Structure 1
Amino acid sequence: MATERNLKIRRAREHRPGQAYGPRVYVDAMTTPQPLHSIGELARRTEAAGFSGLLFTETGRTAYLNAAVASQAAPGLDLSTGVAVAFPRSPFVTAASAWELQEATDGKFRLGLGTQVRTHVVRRYGAEFERPGPRLRDYVLAVKACFSAFRTGKLDHHGEFYDLDFISPQWSAGPIDAPDPKVDIAAVNPWMLRMAGEVADGVHVHPLGEPGYIARHVVPKVAEGAAKSSRSASDIAIIVPVMTIVGDTDEERAKERELVRASMSFYGSTPNYAFIWDEAGFEGTTARIREKQKAGDFKGMAAQITDEHIATFVTESTWDGLADALVAKYGDTATRVVLYNALADPERIERYGAVARSISTG
């Protein structure tokens, strides 16, 4: 696996615009769920532009319904929830939704799950949040037990948080002509990364996951978890969202740079992510952002993200250089690269898609 990834980097350095790369790299686009009447057209444009897949990150609208509409509008796309909130839904409900989407996509659906944070889970969803890491581990195993039950008619999961042992034919989705959906989890800290390697099929890296963090934490911790369950680390997908700033002039890039700066300050305000900034050489970034946040100073929050932060955490490039920059930066670690803001500007979907196509075909 390492040899293949190193080959990607070497070919990226030798690559000429318009020339195909070697081993396939999957490039997806990320979006928040849209009104159902509009998501079909977005999915069709995403597929036609050249992306490998479409990833729905759950916010005020549900990722599952958007994925269902997209599956009918753009059957060639890989689809995934990236991520859907786990705890407010029972493992059985989540498993049933994923099962139907796997059937609808002919096996091209990935179930991405995350814990969210306590305030959202308890005060917005009215669900339990105690010990979220171990709870999510049990949740993943329970979901996979439900997948097995849909095929065999026997449900038998007894974990620390979930006990599931009853299913009848009328309450089972039944077998499908596709493998079980892959189950991925969002993880940041070392314990969660090891857990992903142990029980999940992939890990969603945080949008602040710059290459140094991925090399120091994600790759080795996922490998440790995989070894614990006697699996190869190469069996665990590493799914990396990438913020980009693209344009052929400084003026083109300036607007995107400010949007990215605001996004980074939002993510960087979470105390649990402070160590990512610190290890990258930007000690105290979270504390400075939170000071501005508490004062309601959103412009001040964004101002804490310097151009040096952006150079480390964001891929900035001309259009002709973007494909090479992405492969050189993430080709040694990522299984799938997810372009975080490729769909934000409808006029540029095709340009981003051309970059995705140039990387993924070969």
Structure 2
Amino acid sequence: MARLKVDGAIFKGGDNLYSGDLADIAGRAALMEEMGFDGLFTLDTTVDPFMALLLAAEHSRRCELITGVAIAFARSPMTLALQAWNLQRYSRGRMILGLGSQVQAHIEKRFSMPWGPPAAKMREAILAIRAIWDCWGRGVPLDFRGIYYRHSLMTPTFNPGPNDLPDPKIYLGALGPKMVEVAGEVADGLYGHPFTTIAFMRDVQLPSLEIGLARSGRTLADFDMPAMIMTITGEDDRAIAAADRAVRKLIAFYGSTPAYYGVLEHHGWHDLGPRLNRMSKEGRWDEMTGLITGEIVDAFAVRGAPSEIAGRIAARCAGLVDRVTLYTPYALSDAVLPEIVAGLKALPGKSVA
């Protein structure tokens, strides 16, 4: 059985999730590789994720490079295909294209892009990307004709030509059952959203994933299972308390999103999502955080001293996932990371088949 892989954010956590500057990446990528991380991920927030990974590729040699996630509906499949193809070639096979849909308001009002049924549109986007890669890598004529995307023109000027490497893996960020099914059918891995509990994963996501895998003639043994896990830790009790406050704030933010209500409802917290949503529209962010009880925090996050984190994660999802993304949206000291990473890398990976 393969060991567990461990991924971390290129940018350090803080008040605004993970924010940073392109100038930070050279030093961070090299340091995180030295700490033992297997993969480096970057969000699609204030720094373009593909630009960030290009710099990370230049200043690392071993770590995989993951968009965690890039917003698919804000981009064309052709654009995504080319960015991932270029990074796969430059990094010598270390690129993982993590994709997500975002929610309708952001796609239409922030990106000014068309919305559609998210699961069906995402399925088509991934198939379009693969068709483009088949054209470049294997000479298959480009003739993808879907409902949302059509790609039927590829002239030599715009064809980057084959890579002497496998195609990049595609991980799909998914939460609800329909999108999870799509991941099982057309992606290489399910990029577990941080707003996921182990009960929701077992009871809702895994059955949906198996439906999608069956459509593609695969099983969990053929599929990657990375998980983003909110982690509350620090070098002392004061740092752990600050981390706890940051994670409660993040849970409140995620919980206010209607598309995520299903996770809360699965635990019987039926009124929490609508309450958080109303309060968010009124700007009552501090009060929202006050609704997140210790029981809710423990459902979504692991907490403890650095020496305890590996054991807490193992107790939560041992055998279910094959890589863990440490999701620490607060100022965490680099001094504690090597111990956490070493503990996690000693754990076995996925055992379900």
Tell me the equivalent position of 2:86: 100
Contact 2:234 2:336 in 1 (8 A): no
CA distance in 1, matches of 2:22, 2:235: 35
Structure 1 position 241, deviation (Å): 0.8
Tell me the equivalent position of 1:222: 209
Structure 1 position 361, deviation (Å): 4.9
Which of the numbers 168, 172, 175 marks the counterpart of 1:181? 168
Structure 1 position 249, deviation (Å): 5.2
Contact 1:54 1:79 in 2 (8 A): yes
SS in 1 for 2:62: coil
CA distance in 2, matches of 1:280, 1:335: 25
| Unmatched runs of 5 consecutive residues or more in structure 2 | 12-17, 348-353
Aligned residues: 339
Q: Does 1:29 align with 2:8?
A: yes
Q: Which moved more, 1:242-251 or 1:226-235?
A: 242-251
Which of the numbers 286, 289, 292 marks the counterpart of 2:279? 292
Amino acid across the alignment from 1:190:
P
What's the CA shift string for 1:124-148, capped at 9, x where partnerless? 2121112222111100000011111
CA distance in 2, matches of 1:77, 1:208: 25
SS in 1 for 2:73: coil
Amino acid across the alignment from 1:262:
K
CA distance in 2, matches of 1:308, 1:88: 36
Q: Which moved more, 1:276-285 or 1:306-315?
A: 276-285
What TM-score does the superposition give when structure 1 sets the normalisation length?
0.89
CA distance in 1, matches of 2:344, 2:97: 24
Structure 1 position 312, deviation (Å): 1.6
Contact 2:6 2:37 in 1 (8 A): yes
Q: How does 1:1-362 map to 2 (within 5 A)?
A: 23-30=2-9, 31=11, 32=18, 34-153=20-139, 154-247=141-234, 250-341=237-328, 344-345=330-331, 348-361=333-346
| Unmatched runs of 5 consecutive residues or more in structure 1 | 5-22
* TM-aligned CA distance change 1:313 to 1:88, over 3 Å: closer
CA distance in 2, matches of 1:242, 1:353: 17
Structure 1 position 335, deviation (Å): 2.1
Structure 1 position 57, deviation (Å): 1.2
* TM-aligned CA distance change 1:34 to 1:173, over 3 Å: farther
Structure 1 position 233, deviation (Å): 2.2
Q: Which moved more, 1:139-148 or 1:42-51?
A: 42-51
What's the CA shift string for 1:76-119, capped at 9, x where partnerless? 11111011011222111110100011112211111011111112
Contact 2:103 2:259 in 1 (8 A): no
* TM-aligned CA distance change 1:291 to 1:90, over 3 Å: closer
Contact 2:97 2:168 in 1 (8 A): yes
CA distance in 2, matches of 1:34, 1:254: 23
SS in 1 for 2:74: coil
CA distance in 1, matches of 2:74, 2:240: 40
SS in 2 for 1:242: strand
What's the CA shift string for 1:220-279, capped at 9, x where partnerless? 211110111111222222221111112475433211111111011011101121121121
SS in 2 for 1:180: coil
* TM-aligned CA distance change 1:64 to 1:249, over 3 Å: closer
Amino acid across the alignment from 2:90:
A
SS in 2 for 1:237: coil
Tell me the equivalent position of 2:351: none
Contact 2:89 2:163 in 1 (8 A): yes
Q: Which moved more, 1:28-37 or 1:289-298?
A: 28-37
Amino acid across the alignment from 2:67:
T
Amino acid across the alignment from 1:138:
E
CA distance in 2, matches of 1:288, 1:266: 12
CA distance in 2, matches of 1:175, 1:333: 35
Tell me the equivalent position of 1:18: none
CA distance in 2, matches of 1:351, 1:84: 28
What's the CA shift string for 1:263-300, capped at 9, x where partnerless? 11011101121121121233321122123212211100
CA distance in 1, matches of 2:261, 2:168: 33
Amino acid across the alignment from 2:125:
Y
CA distance in 2, matches of 1:98, 1:251: 41
* TM-aligned CA distance change 1:158 to 1:333, over 3 Å: same
CA distance in 1, matches of 2:314, 2:61: 26
